[in-house]
Structure 1
Amino acid sequence: MSITRLDPVSQSPIPMDEGGPGSNQRDVSTTLNYYPADSGPPIPVIVGETTVTNKRPSIAFGVTVHDVTGRQSDYNLDKNGFQFIHHVSEEKTFDDEERITSLYYKEVEQLLKDVTGASKVIIFNHRARRGPSDWHNAGMNNRLNAGPLFKVHVDQSYDGARLVLDNLLPVESGGAVKHRYQIINVWRPIKTVLRDPLAVADARSVPDEDLLAACVLKPNGRSETWTVMPSASHRWFFKYKQQPDEVLLFKTFDSDKSVARRVPHSAFKDEKHDGDAYRESIEVRALVLY
């Protein structure tokens, strides 16, 4: 059975233990790959059953990615767009698709209900990543051994989120859109993350003006994402040596315009750990309804 730690009074999920001054907090100076501001509209990414083609240009931009270790409770979904939660899954290896969709999906659905108070959660896909850092350059069948994604992006634009809603609830979407709905990604290490960790941007530091809508063509239709243009104002965060029970939730959309609505994210290089084993992680994407 999965375990979500609950506050004894409110019965709401709480972050993992935060540790003290000696808890290995470690900020990383690195570069992130943004979309160049002078490149015009992004060309479509083409996603096939086994191969993905992304020929969009990128520009490496220097950033500091700040480690949240010891201060995880400073960040939450509505203020920053992301939140770290302690959650132990019954699944450990994530190498059986049937177990992922039958067992792990149920755990994630309940986790999101516990964290957000949502009335309904619909999981619409997942992606396990175990492949090499340069998997994108492997050519044909590169999706079969997908690794980290090193381009700053948001999985759904505002219009792209409505496409997800319409596809999942074609009859109900007109009514659902009258209420708050979100798309939240649930990102979990399969093993302790050292190489190519995931960075998330504080949503408040990234204005809409830094986002460009971009088309993704898939076998079952199209979607729309955000590419992101660089800015020194963006504030980036990660959890150093993130463990399998240290789950990162982050929004890719929220219909409530008064709170954090979307979180740019990207894998990044940490030179200290470039020689370590490939990162292993699983990400689940869910439509969250109220």
Structure 2
Amino acid sequence: MSRRLRIEEEKLKQLKDELQEEEDKLKLQLERIFGPLVWRRLQNGIKIQDLQEKHFQEAVDLILENYMQEDILFRNTTIKNDLASQKSFADRLIFKLKDRASIMAIDEANEDCLAGVLVLNPVTKCDFGRVYSRTMLVEGKAYKSITDFMNYINRKVDVFDQCQCDIYLRYYLLCIRSDYRNKGLGYQMMQVGIDIARHLKIPIVMGVFNNYNLQKIAKKIGFNQILFEYKYVKWSDKNGELVFCDPGPGNYTCNVMAGIVPPPPEPDPVPSAEEKASKAKVTRSDKKKQKLKN
């Protein structure tokens, strides 16, 4: 091979390497643009990020497996044996997730295990008319009994009028995987919900919280207004039998709660040169010099 041909081949290889490098940079930029936004990283290796479409089915499966076993409304029905009700509930979940405001918790230390889901929905006054609740077919006796109760609760509240707003962010459903409960993850995710409302410039957050623990967390993060409260002992079927026979200890009411989204926290003040100097590491020799001066 001649020297000239060898030089041309080296130039061609270098050009290919440069083109590949540019393609890799472009791919990385696209991944950053369309990748999930990480809202918070916790010390235990869990990150809270946007719930993207590729994870919708995984999120629904987590909710069907965990949420229906623990939620007051669901476990007081026969939905675990009602496949039509489960499918109808799953279809509604997918519909809600398409708003692209929901978040998920992923355990990076455990092979990216899905640890929790918080379903969030922005609700605007101009689009609000309970159209979805009226027109979407609800199948299954068990799920219909749940939606009947929720529709009754929702009809008792006008968030736009009571909170004087044109848009609010609804906390639709919080589900934590059974082996990740009692670790503060639900509290962290609900706090991130406030950050999302602030990011979307939504002034009000709202949720229907049907157990005492969620009501306590909601109040702690700023849901200070109870718009409506309903006692479970009042809800009965057509035969006068109680529907929610076992709400659990401390769970007496289902509360519609709302709160004002606070402004972002003030950033820490920039330390002055003197403060930086005072915080600088003092060596042993500096300490000896200081003692000699004294």
| Structure number with higher relative contact order (C-alpha < 8 Å, ≥ 6 residues apart) | 1
The normalised TM-score by structure 2 is: 0.26
Q: Which has the higher strand share?
A: 1
Larger Rg: 2
